[in-house]
Amino acid sequence: MTMTASFNHTIVAAKDTAASAAFFRDLLELEDAPSWGPFTNLQFDDGFLLQFAATPIDFPPQHYAFLMDDAHFDRAYAKIQAEKRDHWADPQRARPGETNTGHGGRGVYLLDPAGHYIELITRPYL
């Protein structure tokens, strides 16, 4: 039997796993998943896990992009605005307080509690 590969999980370095998990749970409308060891887990509908772990060292910021439908983007962007979160239309942070219309959809960039770059988009790049 042949199985195609799929992305199953990733570990997101966090300064405060509870704060990071809460941020993603709220913004992406994710479900809690069973957690174990050092991980606080959230699960997407397709089974993909985001695992948050506090690290004993400083870590560089990473980039995580999430594709969502227009209605979800509207809800997420309303939360970003209501919480007065800094956000940008571009990864260089030259267009603060805006969204973009790249790739035939909409997008926005913001930082999570650990300083990672988060991108929300409504259309895939390819």
pLDDT digits (tens, 9 = 90+) for 8-18: 999 999 999 99
Average pLDDT over every residue of 89-102: 97
pLDDT above 90: residue 123: yes
pLDDT of residue 42: 98
Output the CA–CA distances (angstroms, integers) from residue 30 to 43, 99, 100, in the order listed: 6, 23, 24
pLDDT of residue 2: 82
Interatomic CA distance for residues 87 and 119, integer angstroms: 10
pLDDT of residue 89: 98
Q: Are 10 and 51 in contact (CB under 8 A)?
A: yes
Phi and psi dihedrals of 37, rounded to 5?
50, -130
pLDDT tens across 23-79, in order? 999 999 999 999 999 999 999 999 999 999 999 899 999 999 999 999 999 999 999
| pTM of the complete model | 0.94
pLDDT above 90: residue 3: no
pLDDT above 90: residue 1: no
